[in-house]
Amino acid sequence: MGILRTFALGGIHPAENKLSSNAPIETLPVPKQAVVPLGQNLGAPSKPIVKKGDEVKVGQLLAEAGGFISTNIHSPVSGKVFKIDNAIDGSGYKRPCIIINVVGDEWDESIDTSPDIISEITVEPKEIIEKVKNAGVVGMGGATFPTYVKLMPPPGKVAEYLIINGVECEPYLTSDHRMMLELGQQIIIGTRILMKALNVKKAFIGIENNKPDAIRHFNELVKGSDDIEIHPLKVQYPQGGEKQLIKACVNREVPSGKLPIEVGCVVQNVGTAYAVYEAVQKNKPLIERVVTVTGKGVKKPSNFLTRIGTPISELIEAAEGLPDNTGKIIGGGPMMGKAITSLEVPVVKGSSGILLMKNEESNRSVEGPCIRCSKCTYVCPMGLEPFLLSKAAKLSNYEMAENESIMDCIECGSCQYGCPAAIPLLDYLRLGKLKVGQIMRSRNN
């Protein structure tokens, strides 16, 4: 095959721990009560259009987009709206949610619920974008950026390549892997729909080399056609970061402060491609997703197809229960996921996985002084100097932080992972980015 493509700068190799990669996708039953947060995307939260007491069906519109960078939210269940109130979500804070008491599983009539795979793409680009927008599709890799916005490049920018992200570089997570194995055909159709919407002739699907079965399966699915090319990629974190993925697939570097469209690329997760297929071919809005439940103590590491709004306690029960010495619950992967405060937190559009960590694994090592070993600099995929930026942030020297490109940080965590002194570099980097971002915005106003 030759040398595997990869990004040139930095990167680390944490243990893969793909404990659930052989667990086929299992459909979970609907919950008794669905808690649907109004903030499930990057950008403005959505505005509810239902009220207490309303009866709803699966797929019915619950809330409208609250701005340009926002999304529609549809009911994942059928039943009666119990209340619209604050409830705890993955942020650890109580946020506005629509809470529905579930009755049965009745779907909106416009949705095609048959298992048939519809391959022929009959819609025009404008219609595709409209359907994706109305269906509330967001980036399923976890960023939850409204997909339809990415399909409308700003004036003057033209898309040349579509890149589909099948990398899943985070340890433990396997939802994308299972989707590629079991829903590959739909993902390919979704890819072609996206290509049509963007008017691009060529798409690349990047898959990390630790998923040879997915690579083989996809190569078979696209055999004979030359519009989609499968790129096996070197196993290196953060291969799935969109800038690193673009570098690996087409050898272009997105300039500092700019978006991928600047180098003619649009990146979408495989889960997003699947959601686009469902939205366009089946008229089905985004109401469910595949979530991995995993961890060294989990009795049955699994991949569940679950409705948005299901509390994670139900997924953990389905994985044969919360292990006894669980010390930490992570929403997402161990490198970039968020620690969750309660078992009542609901699954949202961006929930890729639930990772349960034992007590022994849950606490940080004692912080020591920086010994200037430079490991953080060597592993940073963006070519930054974490030791310098975190010091600047700690001492509130935001001018230096901005000049040394702190805003380029993708928050992958490689620096903190490799630090021998266990310094919480990423904590300071996030603080620095927050403050510098505020300063930059106030400068523009």
Partner 1 sequence: MNNFTVSGSPHIQGDESTKKIMYGVVIAMIPAVLVSIYFFGVGAIRVLLIAVVASLFFEWVIQKYLIKGALTITDGSALVTAILLALNLPSNLPSWMIIIGALVAIGMAKMSFGGLGKNVFNPALVARVFLLVSFPVEMTSWPKPKPITDGLADVITGPTPLGIVKEGLGADKTMSELSSEIPSYTQVMMGDMGGSMGEVSAIALILGGIYMLWKKIISWHIPVSMLLTVAVFSGIFWGIDPEHYADPVFHLLTGGMLLGAIFMATDMVTSPMTKGGQLVFGFGVGLLTILIRMWGAYPEGVSFAILIMNATVPLINKGFKPTRFGAKPGVALNN
Number of residues in contact with partner 1 under rule CB under 8 A: 76
Closest-CA residue to 19 (of 207, 209, 211, 173): 173
- At which residue do the structure tokens 């490049």 appear? 153
Of the candidate residues 29, 104, 321, 383, the single one contacting partner 1 (CB under 8 A): 383
Give the up-direction half-sphere exposure of residue 402: CA atoms within 13 A in the CB hemisphere.
Answer: 13
Decide if residue 324 touches partner 1 (CB under 8 A).
no
Closest-CA residue to 173 (of 208, 218, 137): 208
- CB-CB neighbours of 206 under 10 Å: 24
Decide if residue 364 touches partner 1 (CB under 8 A).
yes
Q: Find the shortest distance in angstroms from Cβ 347 to partner 1.
A: 17
Decide if residue 94 touches partner 1 (CB under 8 A).
no
Q: Which residues of 190-199 are buried (b: 16+ CB within 10 A; e: fewer)?
A: bbbbbbbbbe
Closest-CA residue to 37 (of 266, 411, 331, 420): 331
Decide if residue 117 touches partner 1 (CB under 8 A).
no
Decide if residue 251 touches partner 1 (CB under 8 A).
yes
Instruction: Give Cβ neighbours of residue 146 (< 8 Å, ≥ 6 apart).
Output: 41, 42, 43, 65, 69, 70, 71, 133, 137, 138
Stretch that binds partner 1, among 68-76, 82-90, 213-221, 338-346 (CB under 8 A): 338-346
Of the candidate residues 123, 222, 343, 407, the single one contacting partner 1 (CB under 8 A): 343
Of the candidate residues 69, 152, 371, 395, the single one contacting partner 1 (CB under 8 A): 371
- Residues from 11 through 70 that contact partner 1 (CB under 8 A): 12, 14
Closest-CA residue to 14 (of 172, 234, 160): 172
Q: Which is nearer to partner 1, 184 or 353 (CB)?
A: 353
Q: Find the shortest distance in angstroms from Cβ 216 to partner 1.
A: 30
Q: Find the shortest distance in angstroms from Cβ 440 to partner 1.
A: 17
Q: Find the shortest distance in angstroms from Cβ 416 to partner 1.
A: 5
CA angle 168–315–339, rounded 5-degree value: 60
Of the candidate residues 156, 226, 441, 444, the single one contacting partner 1 (CB under 8 A): 156
* Largest Cα–Cα separation, the chain: 64
Instruction: Give Cβ neighbours of residue 149 (< 8 Å, ≥ 6 apart).
Output: 68, 69
Beta bridge partners of 354: 293, 331
Of the candidate residues 169, 387, 392, 433, the single one contacting partner 1 (CB under 8 A): 387
The strand order across the sheet containing 288-294 reads 25-27, 302-307, 288-294, 353-358, 326-331, 338-339
Closest-CA residue to 266 (of 180, 189, 204, 352): 204
Of the candidate residues 184, 337, 350, 432, the single one contacting partner 1 (CB under 8 A): 337
Stretch that binds partner 1, among 38-46, 173-181, 210-218, 319-327 (CB under 8 A): 319-327
Instruction: Give Cβ neighbours of residue 113 (< 8 Å, ≥ 6 apart).
Output: 107, 282, 284
Q: Which two tokens stand for residue 182?
A: 């079991």
Q: Find the shortest distance in angstroms from Cβ 389 to partner 1.
A: 12
Instruction: Give Cβ neighbours of residue 139 (< 8 Å, ≥ 6 apart).
Output: 42, 145, 147, 150, 268, 269, 272, 350
Q: Find the shortest distance in angstroms from Cβ 157 to partner 1.
A: 5
Q: Which is nearer to partner 1, 161 or 274 (CB)?
A: 161
Q: Find the shortest distance in angstroms from Cβ 329 to partner 1.
A: 6
Q: Find the shortest distance in angstroms from Cβ 114 to partner 1.
A: 41
Q: Which is nearer to partner 1, 190 or 301 (CB)?
A: 301
Q: Find the shortest distance in angstroms from Cβ 133 to partner 1.
A: 23
Decide if residue 360 touches partner 1 (CB under 8 A).
no
The 8-class DSSP code of residue 104 comes to S
Of the candidate residues 65, 207, 291, 357, the single one contacting partner 1 (CB under 8 A): 357
**Could you give the CA distance from residue 119 to residue 60 in angstroms, rounded to a whole number?**
25
Q: Which is nearer to partner 1, 67 or 383 (CB)?
A: 383
Q: Find the shortest distance in angstroms from Cβ 137 to partner 1.
A: 25
Q: Find the shortest distance in angstroms from Cβ 37 to partner 1.
A: 18
- Residues from 220 through 249 that contact partner 1 (CB under 8 A): 243, 247
- Residues from 402 through 441 that contact partner 1 (CB under 8 A): 405, 408, 411, 413, 416-422, 424, 426-427, 430
Q: Find the shortest distance in angstroms from Cβ 169 to partner 1.
A: 13
Q: How many residues does the chain have?
A: 445
- Decide the pairing of beta strands 73-74 and 55-56: unpaired
Binding mask of the shown chain, residues 261 to 300, with x at each position contacting partner 1 by CB under 8 A: xxxx------------------------------------
